Amino acid sequence: MKRATALLSITFLSQYTALASPVVPGLRGGPNSATLLTGQPSPEPPPVVGNLVPGSTPFGSWATTATPPAQGNSSEPLYQTNAIMDWEEPSYAPMTSTNNQVCAMAFHAPTSTEYSGSIRNSIQKVRFIANNGSPVDVTTPTVSSRSGKNMYCVNLQISGLANNSVVEVRAIGYPNTGQPIVLQGDPDADRFAWYRSQIVVANYSPTRYYLAPSGGGGSDSNNCTSGAPCLTIGRVKTVRGAGDWSNVEICLNAGSYTLNDSGSATAANGWVIVKPCPGVAKNNVTINNWDQTFNRFSIQGLLIRNAKNKTGPATSKIWIHDVNWDTVSGCLGSFDCQLLAPGYTPSTGGGRWIYLTDSFVKNGFNVASETMLYRNLHAETFNSDLGQNVKTMINVEVDDWDHYCCGMHPDLNQISNGFGARSHIVYGLTTLNPVRAQGLFASPTQTYAQGIRALDDVAYVDVTINNTVAGYNAVQFGPAASQGVGDNNNVFMWNLNITSGLNTLRDMSATNWVIIDSVCTGDTIGSYAGVIYYGSSTCD
């Protein structure tokens, strides 16, 4: 197999050896980074980040924030198009005084006048508000400490707040010319919450329970303390009992675990996090399988081996963070090897609340479907999709992607199965070597019941795809005539570097689709009604 290098600076050593933890990727400018343009990722030192002080409105009591009117020149075609925004961190993530940055990405295509004036990302400012306090406006993006990408960021001032205080942060993105968007709303209310607040658990202070293998002192006769660890999560459920499981950590001593226990538990305002005990190294803790029914369940900072086809209730939220996950064997071509599959169907729910961050995954059928966030992810040796209907991808790199068998049709970023996409963002997607897979692929078979278009307010930024295999599109949008709807509006492509023998725009309607500063080698994306090119002559 090929070895992973480059952006995430992690190397696969062996199937049973820990990988170095991912570091912040370095992709920032792509083919045009030599020339610094307004709004373009920059290697310069970041500006000072504003300080955001939470107000006194209790969580859950804050009234709806009104959406500001459209900005700029009403005669411009882009005047009615929305800002394209999302957060870079899962909802209800723990926050401490040393990790208190809150960042949102915000994009909007430039008008022709703005492009001529060297403006590439037409965002005037992003306004942040916490618990209905005083707003803070950020006009200049900075490099996020989490993702390494240019974001609009503030430091949330959490000193003086009680431990595990729940803080709601909202953001308003103002285009120079276009319609502002407010990120607000309960992220748990709807798996299709296109716009939602960022909820953080400030001054995080977990309650810990301890596990150990039977050979390491673990016993379900114990009370799950550091000196008397339990053997199973089932015993932890008995010891803790009913009630709110928010901000509980289940610490694993060195060893291998199978975490299959019955009985559900609910974390109302935080995560149940499984991670190595303090002082235990990442490569000394392995999970071989799990099946849990917590409503909000996270696995962090360890190894996962063989685990596959996770099942659970449709309302499960799963966050996989800082893991090295290798299914080892038996997964290529096997439909039961979708790594994360919490039981979804388009009509009944599930999925969408999956977060996969700062991790390395290897060997499988596909990675996940109906997912909220991929961030700082390296994935290699898969034979189906990297992600179907993933809302946001930030700094994702792939290697060794092929159909291998079974007539599979791999896609790296796919919008399909009757879903449309609103506020969908791909911000940093890179193939390390040529792949046998389609790159950016959208072919939804119907508009979603909420009335959005197939693609509605979508940004593809800093995308490098090398796909030279005949019959595989690096870029393909729009269904075949028999597949139904292909109605797209406000699609912004910036800094694409596409090497492919085949790109296709087909059988669709497009309005306000703007492609800027992009390079195509091997085949153009092609002229299409409603698609505008600036500085991308090799793609037109």
- Contact of 483 with 508, CB cutoff 8 Å: no
pLDDT-derived band at 463, boundaries 50, 70, 90: very high
Q: Name 517's Cβ contacts closer than 8 Å, sequence gap at least 6.
A: 31, 32, 37, 120, 494, 495, 534, 535, 536
Closest residue by Cα to residue 323 from 305, 311, 341 = 305
Residue 10 has pLDDT above 50, yes or no: no
**Spans of all domains in the chain:** 1-11+18-33+341-540, 37-56+76-202, 206-307
- Contact of 130 with 141, CB cutoff 8 Å: no
Residue 440: in which H helix or E strand, if any?
strand 438-442
14-28, 103-117, 200-214: the lowest-pLDDT one: 14-28
Write the CA distances from 507 to 442, 476, 479, 486, integer angstroms.
Answer: 12, 11, 6, 7
The two tokens of residue 484 are 């139904």
37-56+76-202 CATH choice from 2.170.130.10, 3.30.479.30, 2.60.40.10, 3.10.129.10 = 2.60.40.10
β strands within 205-305, DSSP E: 207-211, 248-252, 255-260, 272-276, 285-291, 296-300, 303-305
Q: What would the pLDDT profile of 353-367 be if each residue is shown by its tens digit?
A: 788 999 998 876 667
- Contact of 59 with 186, CB cutoff 8 Å: no
Q: Where are the alpha helices (DSSP H) in 78-131?
A: 112-116
Q: Give the residue, 440 or 162, on which the prediction is more confident.
A: 162
Q: Name 204's Cβ contacts closer than 8 Å, sequence gap at least 6.
A: 94, 95, 96, 163, 164, 247
Q: Give the residue, 123 or 384, on which the prediction is more confident.
A: 123
Q: Name 419's Cβ contacts closer than 8 Å, sequence gap at least 6.
A: 346, 370, 389, 444, 448
Q: What would the pLDDT profile of 63-95 be if each residue is shown by its tens digit?
A: 999 999 999 999 999 999 999 999 999 999 999
Model pTM score: 0.87
In angstroms, the CA 465 to CA 31 distance is 12
**What is the pLDDT of the chain when averaged over all its residues?**
79
- Contact of 286 with 302, CB cutoff 8 Å: yes
Question: Percent of the chain at pLDDT above 70?
Answer: 71
Q: What would the pLDDT profile of 94-132 be if each residue is shown by its tens digit?
A: 999 999 999 999 999 999 999 999 999 999 999 999 999
Q: Give the residue, 222 or 368, on which the prediction is more confident.
A: 222
Residue 485 has pLDDT above 50, yes or no: no
4: amino acid identity, one letter: A
Q: What is the pLDDT of residue 508?
A: 65
Q: Give the residue, 371 or 521, on which the prediction is more confident.
A: 521
Q: What is the pLDDT of residue 375?
A: 96
260 bridge partner residues: 291
Residue 18 has pLDDT above 80, yes or no: no
In angstroms, the CA 285 to CA 452 distance is 44
In angstroms, the CA 538 to CA 270 distance is 48
pLDDT-derived band at 369, boundaries 50, 70, 90: low
Question: Percent of the chain at pLDDT above 90?
Answer: 47
Q: What is the pLDDT of residue 453?
A: 58
In angstroms, the CA 405 to CA 281 distance is 37
